[in-house]
Amino acid sequence: MNSAARPLSDAMDTDIVRPLRIFANRRCGQRKRRHRGYKQDEGHTAAPASFTVLKNRRGQPAKGGEDGAGRSCGGGLGGRKPLVIEKVEVAPPKAMEGQTPLFPRIFGHEASGIVESVGEGVTDLKEGDHVLPVFTGECKECAHCKSEESNMCDLLRINTDRGVMLSDGKSRFTAKGYQINHFLGTSTFSEYTVVHVGCLAKIDPSAPLDKVCVLSCGISTARKFGVNEFVNPKDYDRPVQEVLIEMTSGGVDPSVECTGNINAMISAFECVHDGWGVAVLVGVPNKDAVFMTKADKCAERRDSERAFFGNYKPRTDIPSVVDMYTRKELELDKFITHRISFSEINKAFDLMLKGEGLRCIINMEE
């Protein structure tokens, strides 16, 4: 974020949310930041984040004493426990921002932000650049990054188990003397966060951060609004794939699954037309989920393709997608159904769980 931080004594008595800033991760001799945030304690499972944290453009880079004050948040609804605000200290970036216990951790992966500082060796970004932090990265050096067929970077691909930075296997967040782990390399439920430079897409500074923030995740797989038919699986006493095959005289082609629910993925595969149908699986399932289907479904020449993050390379392709929006070639505004303050983050989860919103923008300054 980009507004001035308050003294720590101020932050202890106020509930004002200030904008978030991003550190690009390599070592630099800057002070730590202290701020408050939402975190998830050990023993609770994180709910999928379906809303966005807005890093506001207004204000000036944080300056002043040894400590900056603000808030950060880590999320999750395990056991339906509400999120809580905590003061969190954020260390400056190190050289090349390992597996550790995952909780507590600061959640959030869909956001926009402004670079507050960069670490040693960062040449692609500078203070003041507008960026989208992305949950999967692009090192530009591995075989996947050099291939036109893949966006699954060997170094920075999505990893839900990693809670630390790559350079030294340590977290940049602490609270009350304890380490708070990162999430998907971004931890955007925070006023300040440290992100590997390979997971930051530099964008046109004229693009509105409160709109293009949704491009850092799922919107990159969307084409347009509107459907021809709506089928609710709960309305039927048989598998929905059988219903769809009957409705379409043999099956659809293609089918596109976007939820990450393993049962929906199976239904998407089994509802395509035999002989030529293709199921495009977009959603990210639980890593332990097992995809099971009958052998004859494969023998009938059904096929599946995996689409990950729209097959976009984050640093190379996302800036051009932002440009499409600024040229009015891409619809984003209708995806944003709610806007709330940072302190109301639990309301955003409630809206998500009730199915009452598509994207909820959380303004870090309000």
Instruction: Report yes or no on 292 lying in a domain.
Output: yes
Measure the CA–CA gap between 250 and 298, rounded to whole angstroms: 15
Whole-model pTM over 0.85:
no
Instruction: Report yes or no on 186 lying in a domain.
Output: yes
The whole-number average pLDDT for the span 20-40 is 49
Total domain count for the chain? 2
Residues 6 or more apart in contact with residue 280 via CB below 8 angstroms: 254, 255, 256, 257, 268, 304, 305, 306, 307
Note the pLDDT tens digit of each residue in 223-238: 555 567 788 899 999 9
Task: Indicate if 110 and 183 belong to the same structural domain.
Answer: yes
Task: Indicate if 195 and 295 belong to the same structural domain.
Answer: no
Task: Indicate if 250 and 160 belong to the same structural domain.
Answer: no
Instruction: Report yes or no on 320 lying in a domain.
Output: no
pLDDT at 138: 97
The whole-number average pLDDT for the span 60-64 is 32
Note the pLDDT tens digit of each residue in 122-152: 999 999 999 999 999 999 999 999 999 899 9
Confidence of residue 63 (pLDDT cuts 50, 70, 90): very low
Confidence of residue 114 (pLDDT cuts 50, 70, 90): very high
Integer angstrom CA distances of residue 318 from 34, 137, 331: 31, 11, 15
Instruction: Report yes or no on 313 lying in a domain.
Output: no
Measure the CA–CA gap between 116 and 208, rounded to whole angstroms: 18
Note the pLDDT tens digit of each residue in 35-44: 545 554 433 3
Core vs surface per residue 104-125: b (16+ CB within 10 A) or e: bbbbbbbbbbbbbbbbeebeeb
pLDDT at 156: 95
Instruction: Report yes or no on 68 lying in a domain.
Output: yes
Instruction: Report yes or no on 76 lying in a domain.
Output: yes
Between 121 and 298, name the one with better pLDDT. Answer: 121
Confidence of residue 72 (pLDDT cuts 50, 70, 90): low
Between 92 and 253, name the one with better pLDDT. Answer: 253
Which CATH number does the domain housing residue 282 bear?
A: 3.40.50.720
Query: Please, are residues 195 and 25 in contact by the beta-carbon 8 Å criterion?
Result: yes
Burial of 146 (0-12, 13-18, 19+ CB in 10 A): exposed
Task: Indicate if 285 and 341 belong to the same structural domain.
Answer: no
Instruction: Report yes or no on 227 lying in a domain.
Output: no
Task: Indicate if 131 and 263 belong to the same structural domain.
Answer: no
Note the pLDDT tens digit of each residue in 284-322: 888 889 999 988 888 787 877 777 888 899 999 999 999
pLDDT at 132: 96
Domain that holds residue 302: 233-308
Which CATH number does the domain housing residue 136 bear?
A: 3.90.180.10
Instruction: Report yes or no on 314 lying in a domain.
Output: no
Helix (H) or strand (E) holding 226: none
pLDDT at 358: 82
Task: Indicate if 214 and 119 belong to the same structural domain.
Answer: yes
Task: Indicate if 24 and 135 belong to the same structural domain.
Answer: yes
Between 145 and 349, name the one with better pLDDT. Answer: 145
Task: Indicate if 150 and 279 belong to the same structural domain.
Answer: no
pLDDT at 21 exceeding the cut of 70 = no
Backbone angles phi, psi at 85, to 5 degrees: -95, 135
Residue type, 260: G
pLDDT at 139: 96
Which among 57, 49, 36 is positioned nearest to 107, based on CA atoms? 49
Task: Indicate if 304 and 344 belong to the same structural domain.
Answer: no
